[in-house]
């Protein structure tokens, strides 16, 4: 985690922040329609934990999550990867959408790695 460039760190944190904003908007819309929000709430918790673990690793911020919550977040983030990878594979080279997906994949991989390191005591 120490060998990550400042640019990638910044982009990864911004990617998580953007994802959180989008998920919060989606959650509010779904709740307003009376739709089941269980899955998006679970993913939102995981993305927030992913952001927290990156900020903890890179900015020495306190990690406000317990071991169990972090383990669940890691599993949920891993579960999100295939759909994002598929969207990335189907995106047009050089498009803004592809850049966004590339950064999202990078940030998720780094968060999963940081969660693995934390949970394994490294």
- Sequence spans of domains, the chain: 6-119
Distances (CA, A) of 17 to 33, 36, 121, 122: 25, 24, 26, 26
Q: What is the DSSP string of 33-65?
A: HT---HHHHHHHHHHHHHHHHHHHHHH------
pLDDT tens for the 122 residues of the chain, in order? 668 999 999 999 999 999 999 999 999 999 999 899 999 999 999 999 999 999 999 998 889 999 999 999 999 999 999 999 999 999 999 999 999 999 999 999 999 999 999 999 86
Per-residue pLDDT at 24: 97
Residue whose token pair is 């890691």:
74
Residue whose token pair is 């994002």:
84
6-119 CATH pick, 2.20.28, 1.10.287, 1.20.1440, 3.30.420 = 1.20.1440
Report how far residue 79's alpha carbon sits from residue 52's, in angstroms, rounded to the nearest whole number.
Answer: 19
């Amino acid at each position: 985690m120490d060998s990550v460039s400042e640019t990638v760190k910044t982009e990864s944190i911004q990617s998580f922040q953007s994802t959180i904003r989008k998920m919060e908007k989606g959650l509010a819309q779904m709740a307003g329609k009376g739709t089941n929000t269980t899955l998006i709430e679970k993913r939102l918790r995981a993305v927030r934990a992913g952001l927290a673990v990156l900020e903890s690793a890179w900015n020495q911020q306190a990690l406000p999550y317990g071991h169990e919550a972090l383990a669940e977040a890691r599993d949920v983030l891993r579960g999100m990867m295939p759909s994002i990878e598929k969207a990335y594979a189907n995106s047009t080279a050089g498009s803004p959408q592809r850049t966004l997906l590339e950064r999202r994949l990078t940030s998720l991989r780094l968060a999963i790695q940081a969660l693995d390191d934390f949970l394994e005591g490294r």
